[in-house]
Amino acid sequence: MPQLQRLAITAAQICDRKIDLTREQQHYLNRVLRLQAGDRFIAMDGRGHWWLAVLEVRETGLFASIAEEIAVNRELPVEVTLMAALPKGNGFDEVVRQATELGVASIVPVTSDRTLLKPSDQKVERWRRIAAEAAEQSERQFVPTILEPISFDLAVKDCGQKYRYICVARGENRHLWDCLLGNLEPPQPPLLRGEQDGATGFDPPQPPLIRGEQDGEELSMVIAIGPEGGWTEGEVKRAIEFGFEAVSLGSRILRAVTAPIVALSLVGAAFEKC
C-alpha cells in the first residue's frame, strides 16, 4: 500500500461505514493536505483500529467512507505506564510527545516534593492533543491515556502493575536494562515441524515473555521518573515500600525530560529485539 496520510478520529464519528468529519478535520484534509474527493487516507481511532477511507463530498461538506479495515501491529509487546514528575515550564509537552512515539501506553503526571508546576485543566487537554498528534505521526494503533495529575504518594499507593521501577540518579542500584533482561524469557529457537508430525519447514519463534507470566496474560510495568533535582530520599523509600525497585539509567545525570526517553528506549530495545 502506498504511503497515505493519517487522521485520528473517534469511534463515535463512525456510523454505517461512514466517517462524520469535524469542521477542523475537513479543513485539515482539504486545505492543509490538499486531498480531493476520491482521495484515500488512513483513519485511526486511537484504540487499535485502522481503516482505509475515501474522501467524499455532500451538500453539508466533506465526509469519508470506509473501504476496508487495515490490520497493523505497531505496539510494544508490553504495556508501559510512565509515572513522570512534572518538570518546569513546558517540558512535559516533549515528554508526552516523545513517550508516545516510543510506545508508552499511559502517562501519569505526578506532583512531588520538588515539583514546581501546578497544571491547569487546559494543560491536561493540551497534553492529550499532543499525544493524539504524536500517535498519528508515529503510526501507532493506540493513543496513550493521559491521566489527571495526582500526588506521588497516591500514584505509588494505587499502582497495580506487577513490575514497578523508580529511576534514581545516584546510588548503587541495578541498571534498568539489567532488570528488563533479567525478567525476560527469551523466545525459543524455531523447531523443525518434522520433529512432531513429519512435516517440513520451521515453526516461527515466539515473542519474549516476562518470567513467570502465562501465555496470553498481558505484560505490564510502570516506570517512575523524577523532577529536576530527582526524587527525595523519602519518596524513594515510600515507593520501595509499595513494591517499586530503585533502578539506574546510567552514570550520567539526566534531565527530567531526557530520562523518560532513555527508559522507554531501553524497554523498546529489550522487548522488540530480544
192-201 pLDDT tens trace: 555 554 454 5
For residues 165 and 156, give the distance between their C-alpha atoms in angstroms, rounded to a whole number: 10
Terminal-residue alpha carbon distance, the chain: 29
Asked if residue 118 has pLDDT above 90, the reply is: no
Q: What is residue 157's predicted lDDT score, i.e. its pLDDT? A: 94
Q: What is residue 206's predicted lDDT score, i.e. its pLDDT? A: 52
Q: What is residue 44's predicted lDDT score, i.e. its pLDDT? A: 84
For residues 44 and 141, give the distance between their C-alpha atoms in angstroms, rounded to a whole number: 7
51-105 pLDDT tens trace: 899 999 988 889 999 998 887 777 888 999 999 999 888 899 999 999 999 999 9
Q: What is residue 27's predicted lDDT score, i.e. its pLDDT? A: 92
Asked if residue 247 has pLDDT above 90, the reply is: yes
Average of per-residue pLDDT across 39-53: 85
Q: How many helices (H) and strands (E) does the chain have?
A: 8, 16
Provide the CA 158 distance to its chain's centre, in angstroms: 20
Q: What is the pTM of this model?
A: 0.71
Pairing type for strands 184-185 and 209-210 reads: antiparallel
Asked if residue 215 has pLDDT above 60, the reply is: no
Helix 259-273 / helix 91-101 crossing angle, nearest 10 deg:
0
Kindly report the number of other CB atoms within 10 A of residue 72's CB atom: 14
Q: What is residue 50's predicted lDDT score, i.e. its pLDDT? A: 84
Residues 6+ apart with CB under 8 A from 45: 8, 9, 10, 11, 14
For residues 273 and 208, give the distance between their C-alpha atoms in angstroms, rounded to a whole number: 9
Asked if residue 263 has pLDDT above 80, the reply is: yes
Q: Which of 109-113, 136-140, 163-167, 194-198 has the lowest mean pLDDT?
A: 194-198
182 SS3 class: helix
User: Which H or E element spans position 53?
Assistant: strand 50-58
More reliable by pLDDT, 6 or 98? 98
Answer for the pair 233, 152: CB distance below 8 angstroms, yes or no.
Answer: no
Residue 102: DSSP 8-state = T
User: Which H or E element spans position 165?
Assistant: strand 163-167
Answer for the pair 196, 169: CB distance below 8 angstroms, yes or no.
Answer: no
Residues 6+ apart with CB under 8 A from 203: 190, 191, 193
- Residue 138, amino acid: S
Question: DSSP for 205-229?
Answer: PPPPEETTPPTTPPPEEEEEE--TT
Q: Which of 106, 84, 97 is nearest to 255 (CA)?
A: 84
Percent of the chain topping pLDDT 90: 58
Q: Which of 46-50, 111-115, 132-136, 203-207 has the lowest mean pLDDT?
A: 203-207
More reliable by pLDDT, 42 or 119? 42
